[in-house]
Amino acid sequence: MRLYDTLRLVKNEFRYGKMEWIVSMILQILIFSCALFVLSLALDMDRLGDAYLHKLYPDGYEFSFRGYTRDDRSELEEMGFHDFSLDEEDGIGKINEIKGLWLKKIKAVIKGRDIWNSEIDEFVVVIGLFQVVFGIIAILLLFIMINNLSNSFSMKLMRREYYIKMLSGLGCRKLEIERIYYIFFSIRNLLALFISLAINAGLALLFNSYIANLLGISSELDVMRIKEGICLILLVELMMVIIFKKVWRESNVDNG
């Protein structure tokens, strides 16, 4: 089958069952946008928190160490600490930002050590919890979206069962028919993903102006998450291929 014919058949697919694919796409856009925004918050929360708190600690945050000796100086320097005062087991040092600090604290605890500052420890813990909870929510949303995608594929193939059999009867190879639906779903997915990226950019802009006006935070959420967007596109397209193959195998169109 020529590429032109394939594209014409794909175009036909968009005309058929409009209600279903539009509803499915709206759902996909909602989930993508929400997942991206929650993920953005999870990734940038510590940076925003640091930007807010930094006004109170312009010279850096002073932390106390327990269990670190002079030999661990290089390790602490790698973590970003400076201006040390270390003795046998305890010490103090400064760090310029608290971004990702809760992870460093966890690593220290695992090694039986401690890095602490009684004034901002609670703040760091709250940020850590936020990041974990928001990260989990974003992953769960992606799972829900994958489930919805799978249902959407099944529904489409069920509705087009006779049509696919007809195409097959007319001499189209299964691979060619599969390709029509790959392209159809890919276009839908990419469209949903790009709209979601645009919505996420809008939400991020709103959020940035909200926190700038409200709290005077100069740091911002990344508006265009190119890297995460590309990763998401690759992930979703890969998932789509896997899900589609599974649904195709299970459907009557492949069996009959």
Contact set with other proteins (CB under 8 A): 23-24, 27, 30-31, 34, 37-38, 52-53, 55-56, 122, 125-126, 129, 137, 140-141, 144, 147-148, 151, 154-155, 158, 214-216
Is the Cβ of residue 117 or residue 151 nearer to other proteins in the bound state?
151
Give the residue with the Cβ less far from other proteins, 48 or 76: 48
Q: Which is nearer to other proteins, 129 or 235 (CB)?
A: 129
Q: How far is the CB of 215 from other proteins (least distance, A)?
A: 6
**156, 162, 163, 164: CA torsion to nearest 10:** 80
In angstroms, what is the minimal distance from the CB of 125 to other proteins?
5
Minimum distance between the CB of residue 226 and other proteins, rounded to whole angstroms? 23
Helix (H, G, I), strand (E, B) or coil at 95: strand
Nearest CB to other proteins, comparing residues 215 and 234: 215
Q: Dig out the tokens for 36 from the structure.
A: 């991206």
Nearer to other proteins, 47 or 76 (CB): 47
Choice between 31 and 76, CB closer to other proteins: 31
Minimum distance from CB of 198 to other proteins (Å)? 17
Could you tell me if 6 and 109 are in contact, meaning their C-beta atoms sit under 8 angstroms apart? no
Enumerate long-range contacts of 48-51, CB under 8 Å, 24 or more apart: 48/211, 48/217, 48/219, 48/221, 49/98, 49/123, 49/127, 50/97, 50/98, 50/99, 50/219, 51/217, 51/218, 51/219
Q: How far does Cα 132 stand from its chain's mean position?
A: 13
Three-state secondary-structure class, residue 89: coil
Q: Can you spell out the DSSP letters for 114-178?
A: EEE-TTTHHHHHHHHHHHHHHHHHHHHHHHHHHHHHHHHHHHHHHHTHHHHHHHHHTT--HHHHH
CB of 175 to other proteins, least distance (A): 27
Q: How far is the CB of 216 from other proteins (least distance, A)?
A: 3
Instruction: Check: CB of residue 228 under 8 Å from CB of residue 68.
Output: no
